[in-house]
């Protein structure tokens, strides 16, 4: 092979940026890049579907930091990847997606997989470009990575594709030494001192402040914990930040979310949009509360509800600066203490409810009983993934890991297995457990093969409530007339064993503890394991009861829309 090609420069850039692995599915239009990555010593995690490749890049970035990389081939490779790209877009996760196109002399002549990928993905990416000249690569790669990381705007996926002949173009040695290969630290931003002073004064004047964290707070957990102590505010996490401040912190009042939101007189958002999960910040929920908003992205300071003070800058720096200004401040913490007491009581009640959740008349396990037993066995620093319909609603309340991932605001089910694989690679030595519904599992079930081939220690727990109906036919009639439907409790454990996983099927309460003990022991030994638990389809989650999904406090939100209408009419 010719050395110092454009493909080699792509690999050299990723290597210089600290990328250790790329999630990919092979194809002819990306072969030069594939081979260059291998030559550079970057591991290639080959997957069974391009959507999973992007999911894995997403989860790897979420757990390890930095940006994740997916490599997908042209045509169907890109169209398959688009769901994963859309999910990263809505979740604002830094992902770099690379692809290829036919050689330039074959463009617009009916070549295989000749498509304008950039036109398809431009609305769900920060950058979407075709690099048609190899000498532009250092600039284009640097710009795409910077955009993905959110330098100057919201983080999210970037997309670059390259004609296959461009990938093979030789480049002068000097281009491998330009500053864009390793990159530079991005410009830093910080809030003005006068605005920090005004924010501190706003906090001192509040009687019932709360802090709500989001995406931007994930890299500022220690600074956030210090700020909570200094400010005396109550704390509500969201799905974007679950686990960054432990439940044991005196400010944590997650089980009292509805009361905290409606009673607060100062709402402090930290790297968080006021989206549907927070009722858009409507006065119908938050009343006359004032707002103080902190973010490293300007768009998170002005959506839906304007604030008395807005602080734009690195969140860790802003939080530390506010904590310094609040030294010596002795707030009245009675309101937060009361909510904290009720939170602890509700949490204890939840633990009891998990342990005592009854099976149905056929002996099928209640999901809460299964989750309660998993909860007992989770390490303090575990990574947990929740995915699916009802089981996600149950798991979101039952599991409190150090790191938590779920489908996010796109509601993109089917990502548990890819997320778990990437999380385990990003955090070797940490326990990784994914809980998924049987329907959601089916979207990417083949990726258990990826876990086995790459020897990734993960646990996949399938809540098998037979949610997929099968037709029942009258065998007396020639063509078997359909006379009804029945639930199919497929044997996912048998499927997993055929791929080489250690797997257990749980049917009944008495089998839960022995199976989980054996599975967690195998996980600790480095095996990929799967639990196929037959759960009751009669167990109804709060999501199902309200008809709403993906919202932390669903019963409260069910009334919020009506309340907002009443407020608008008034």
Question: What is the distance between the alpha carbons of residues 484 and 35, in angstroms, rounded to a whole number?
Answer: 53
Question: What is the distance between the alpha carbons of residues 451 and 47, in angstroms, rounded to a whole number?
Answer: 9
Question: What is the distance between the alpha carbons of residues 259 and 335, in angstroms, rounded to a whole number?
Answer: 11
Beta bridge partners of 291: 267
Question: What is the distance between the alpha carbons of residues 503 and 125, in angstroms, rounded to a whole number?
Answer: 38
Residue 83, both tokens: 């769901």
Active site residue 316: no
Query: Parallel, antiparallel, or unpaired for β 157-163 and 209-213?
Result: unpaired
Question: What is the distance between the alpha carbons of residues 217 and 269, in angstroms, rounded to a whole number?
Answer: 10
Query: Where would I find the H helices in 214-308?
Result: 221-231, 257-263, 283-286
Residue 218, both tokens: 């994930």
Question: What is the distance between the alpha carbons of residues 188 and 207, in angstroms, rounded to a whole number?
Answer: 33
Residue 332, both tokens: 């009245």
CB 209 within 8 A of CB 232: yes
Question: What is the distance between the alpha carbons of residues 568 and 441, in angstroms, rounded to a whole number?
Answer: 42
- CA torsion 332-335-336-341 (nearest 10°) is 130
Token look-up 């940490």 returns: 430
Number of H helices, E strands in the chain: 22, 19
Secondary structure class of 530 (helix, strand, coil): strand
Secondary structure class of 233 (helix, strand, coil): coil
Token look-up 């080959």 returns: 46
CB 107 within 8 A of CB 77: no
Q: Is 563 exposed, middle or buried (0-12, 13-18, 19+ CB in 10 A)?
A: middle
Catalytic residue (choose from 207, 308, 471, 477):
471
Question: What is the distance between the alpha carbons of residues 342 and 264, in angstroms, rounded to a whole number?
Answer: 16
Secondary structure class of 423 (helix, strand, coil): helix
Q: Single out the residue of 346, 173, 363 nearest to residue 259, CA to CA.
A: 346
- H or E segment to which residue 504 belongs: strand 502-506
Residue 552, both tokens: 């932390």
Q: Single out the residue of 396, 358, 404, 416 nearest to residue 535, CA to CA.
A: 358
Q: Single out the residue of 269, 287, 276, 8 nearest to residue 137, CA to CA.
A: 8
CB 141 within 8 A of CB 10: yes
CB 144 within 8 A of CB 183: no
Residue 297, both tokens: 């992205």
Beta bridge partners of 473: 482
Q: Which residues are catalytic?
A: 471
């Amino acid at each position: 092979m010719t050395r110092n090609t454009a493909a080699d420069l792509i690999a050299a850039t990723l290597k210089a940026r600290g990328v250790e692995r790329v999630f990919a599915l092979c194809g002819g239009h990306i072969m030069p890049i594939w081979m260059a990555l291998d030559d550079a010593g970057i591991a290639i995690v080959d997957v069974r579907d391009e959507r999973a490749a992007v999911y894995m890049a997403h989860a790897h970035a979420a757990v390890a930091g930095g940006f994740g990389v997916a490599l997908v081939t042209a045509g169907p490779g890109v169209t398959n990847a688009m769901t994963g790209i859309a999910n990263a877009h809505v979740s604002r996760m830094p992902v770099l997606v690379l692809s290829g196109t036919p050689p330039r002399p074959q463009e617009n002549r009916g070549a295989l997989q000749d498509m304008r990928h950039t036109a398809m993905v431009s609305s769900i990416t920060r950058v979407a470009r075709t690099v048609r000249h190899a000498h532009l690569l250092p600039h284009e790669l640097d710009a795409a990575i910077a955009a993905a990381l959110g330098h100057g705007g919201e983080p999210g996926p970037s997309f670059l594709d390259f004609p296959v002949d461009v990938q093979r173009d030789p480049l002068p040695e000097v281009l491998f030494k330009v500053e864009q290969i390793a990159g530079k630290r991005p410009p830093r931003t910080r809030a003005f001192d006068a605005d920090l002073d005004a924010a501190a004064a706003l906090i001192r004047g509040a009687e019932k402040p709360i802090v709500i964290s989001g995406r931007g707070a994930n890299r500022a957990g220690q600074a956030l914990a210090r700020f909570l102590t200094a400010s005396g505010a109550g704390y509500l996490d969201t799905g974007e930040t679950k686990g960054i401040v432990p439940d044991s912190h005196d400010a944590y009042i997650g089980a009292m979310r509805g009361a905290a939101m409606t009673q607060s007189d100062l709402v402090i958002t930290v790297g968080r949009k006021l989206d549907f999960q927070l009722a858009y910040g409507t006065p119908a929920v938050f009343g006359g509360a004032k707002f103080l908003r902190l973010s490293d992205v300007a768009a998170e300071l002005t959506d839906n509800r304007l604030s008395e003070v807005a602080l734009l800058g690195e969140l860790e720096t802003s939080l530390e600066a506010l904590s310094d200004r609040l030294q010596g401040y002795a707030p009245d913490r009675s309101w937060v203490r009361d909510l904290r007491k009720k939170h602890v009581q509700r949490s204890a009640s939840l633990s009891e409810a998990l342990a005592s959740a009854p099976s149905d008349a056929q002996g099928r396990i209640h999901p809460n009983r299964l989750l309660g037993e998993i909860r007992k066995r989770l390490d303090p620093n575990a990574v947990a993934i929740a995915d699916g319909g009802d089981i996600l609603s149950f798991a979101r309340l039952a599991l409190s890991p150090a790191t938590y991932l779920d489908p996010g605001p796109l509601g993109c089910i089917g990502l548990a297995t890819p997320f778990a694989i990437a999380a385990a690679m990003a955090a070797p030595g940490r326990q990784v457990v994914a809980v998924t519904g049987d329907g959601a599992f089916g979207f990417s079930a083949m990726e258990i093969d990826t876990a086995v081939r790459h020897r990734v220690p993960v646990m996949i727990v399938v809540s098998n409530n037979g949610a997929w109906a099968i037709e029942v036919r009258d065998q007396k009639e020639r063509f078997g007339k359909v006379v009804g439907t029945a639930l199919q409790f497929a044997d996912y454990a048998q499927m997993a064993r055929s791929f080489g996983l250690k797997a257990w099927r749980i049917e009944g309460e008495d089998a839960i503890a022995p199976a989980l003990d054996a599975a967690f022991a195998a996980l600790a030994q480095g095996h990929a394991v799967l639990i196929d638990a037959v759960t009751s389809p009669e167990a109804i989650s709060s999501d199902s009861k309200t008809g709403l999904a993906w919202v932390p406090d669903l019963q409260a939100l069910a009334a919020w829309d009506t309340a907002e209408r009443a407020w608008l009419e008034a």
